[in-house]
């Protein structure tokens, strides 16, 4: 079996076994295949092996791949998971389905204004600096409720939930802590009346911990395509 197909099966097996351990249905976790630095041909191989949701970090690189895979556009969901600068929002509003790393109201406002009328609303997550690392992007936990309410009120975007990249931790118990905090924050927003359903958390190194704490979408690159 080709490597990418084999790796994809292995990641699906990890997700299935983490779901079983958490008594959660396997379909409650979406696998987002993260292709940054890998060529469109590798993404096509992943598509052929059943992948349908693709995550990219860099806007220019992603636009090249979206155009290289234009024949699959109707069957692929494209997710921007990297940081987004204000001067790149138009291209993102026009070409992506999801944006995970929204960390300012202004970015969401621009995406809403620039989302073409013929497309469905752009699906958004707010990025939270859940480990409180000074050098990392993302909203602080305290900032999230006000920004979430404001983003949820915008017309051409739909706020779906929260995303985080927790600081690396040595063992699963330590990995679970920040994921649990993100889940609690999502539940707090739900109690305040926001209809949110997405916890974008978990990568190659911590997807079991993330699924144990309620992740609904894991973003996996290395385990599928290899080291970058």
Ligand X SMILES: *Cc1c(COP(=O)(O)O)cnc(C)c1O
Strands (E), 30-182: 30-34, 53-56, 77-80, 98-102, 122-127, 157-163
**Candidate list 11, 29, 34, 111; residue touching ligand X; CB under 6 A:** 34
* Residue indicated by tokens 């911990």: 209
Smaller CB separation from ligand X, 9 or 190 = 9
**Candidate list 33, 81, 128, 189; residue touching ligand X; CB under 6 A:** 81
Distances (CA, A) of 91 to 35, 39, 58, 80, 139: 19, 20, 12, 11, 23
Please give the structure tokens belonging to residue 149.
């309410």
**Candidate list 203, 209, 210, 211; residue touching ligand X; CB under 6 A:** 203
| Binding map of ligand X across residues 131-170, x = CB under 6 A, - = no contact | ----------------------------------x-----
Smaller CB separation from ligand X, 17 or 222 = 222
Residue 65 near ligand X by CB under 6 A: no
Smaller CB separation from ligand X, 34 or 105 = 34
CB of 155 to ligand X, least distance (A): 27
CB of 83 to ligand X, least distance (A): 9
Please give the structure tokens belonging to residue 22.
């958490």
Burial call 192-210: b when 16+ CB within 10 Å, e when fewer = eebebebbbbbbbebbbbb
């Amino acid at each position: 079996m080709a490597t990418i197909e084999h790796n994809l099966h292995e990641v699906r097996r990890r997700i299935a076994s983490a779901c079983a351990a958490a008594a959660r249905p396997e379909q409650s976790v979406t696998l987002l295949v993260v292709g940054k630095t890998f060529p469109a041909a590798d993404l096509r191989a992943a598509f052929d092996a059943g992948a349908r949701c693709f995550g990219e970090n860099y806007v220019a690189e992603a636009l090249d791949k979206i155009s290289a895979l234009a024949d699959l556009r109707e069957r692929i969901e494209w997710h921007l998971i990297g940081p987004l600068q204000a001067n790149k929002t138009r291209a993102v509003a026009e070409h992506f389905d999801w944006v995970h790393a929204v960390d300012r109201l202004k970015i969401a406002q621009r995406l809403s204004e620039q989302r073409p009328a013929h497309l469905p609303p752009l699906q958004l997550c707010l990025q939270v600096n859940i480990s409180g690392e000074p050098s990392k992007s993302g909203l602080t936990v305290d900032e999230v409720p006000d920004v979430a309410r404001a983003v949820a009120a915008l017309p051409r975007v739909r706020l779906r939930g929260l995303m985080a990249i927790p600081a690396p931790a040595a063992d699963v118990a330590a990995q679970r802590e920040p994921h649990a905090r993100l889940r609690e924050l999502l539940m707090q927003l739900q109690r305040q009346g926001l209809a949110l359903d997405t916890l974008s958390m978990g990568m190659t190194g911590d997807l079991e911990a993330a699924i144990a704490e309620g992740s609904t979408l894991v973003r996996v690159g290395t385990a599928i395509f290899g080291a970058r």
